[in-house]
Amino acid sequence: MQSDDPLAYEEGARVFFMTPTAGEVVSSPVHVDMGAENIEVVPAGELSYNTGHHHIIINKGHISKGETVPADEQHIHYGQGQVETELELEPGNYTLTLQFANGLHQSYGEALSETIEITVE
């Protein structure tokens, strides 16, 4: 179902970490595989129904629906439509949040995010 709402998406859409998994102990660089189901991953720049791209947020939670995802060391954009990356992280405990956003980097909110905790050795 199409919509004029720039944050509309299909029922059942979700994003998730394929790797690492919650509670996993990993080494740096941390290989991350980002998953999306019932929503299409596309490069940033255009608004299109049921599409968007990933962001990884380090040690902070999801971005509220409609808010623009910041671009800084804790908010990493994957605006070319990437679905995997390597994160250089110092040893320690981390919270990683996968946040999906539309073509203008507007967050789909908590519904299209997932947060996990990992430990980097």
Task: Evaluate whether residue 71 is within a structural domain.
Answer: yes
Task: Evaluate whether residue 41 is within a structural domain.
Answer: yes
User: Would you say residue 114 has pLDDT above 70?
Assistant: yes
| Rounded percentage of the chain residues whose pLDDT exceeds 90 | 94
- DSSP symbols for 40-108: EE--TTS--TTEEEEEEEESS-PPPTTPBPP-BTTEEE-TT---EEEE---SEEEEEEEEEE-TT-BB-
User: Would you say residue 4 has pLDDT above 70?
Assistant: yes
Task: Evaluate whether residue 93 is within a structural domain.
Answer: yes
What is the mean predicted confidence (pLDDT) over 58-68? 98
Task: Evaluate whether residue 2 is within a structural domain.
Answer: no
Task: Evaluate whether residue 115 is within a structural domain.
Answer: yes
Task: Evaluate whether residue 8 is within a structural domain.
Answer: no
Task: Evaluate whether residue 4 is within a structural domain.
Answer: no
Q: What is the pLDDT of residue 2?
A: 65
User: Would you say residue 61 has pLDDT above 60?
Assistant: yes
Q: Report the number of distinct structural domains present in the chain.
A: 1
CB 94 within 8 A of CB 115: no
Range of the domain at 41: 14-120
User: Would you say residue 1 has pLDDT above 60?
Assistant: no
Q: Mean pLDDT in the chain?
A: 96
What is the mean predicted confidence (pLDDT) over 7-35? 97
User: Would you say residue 46 has pLDDT above 90?
Assistant: no
Q: Identify the CATH number of the domain in which residue 112 sits.
A: 2.60.40.10
From the list 71, 70, 75, 84, the residue with the least C-alpha distance to 34 is 84
Task: Evaluate whether residue 3 is within a structural domain.
Answer: no
Q: Flag whether the pTM goes above 0.75.
A: yes
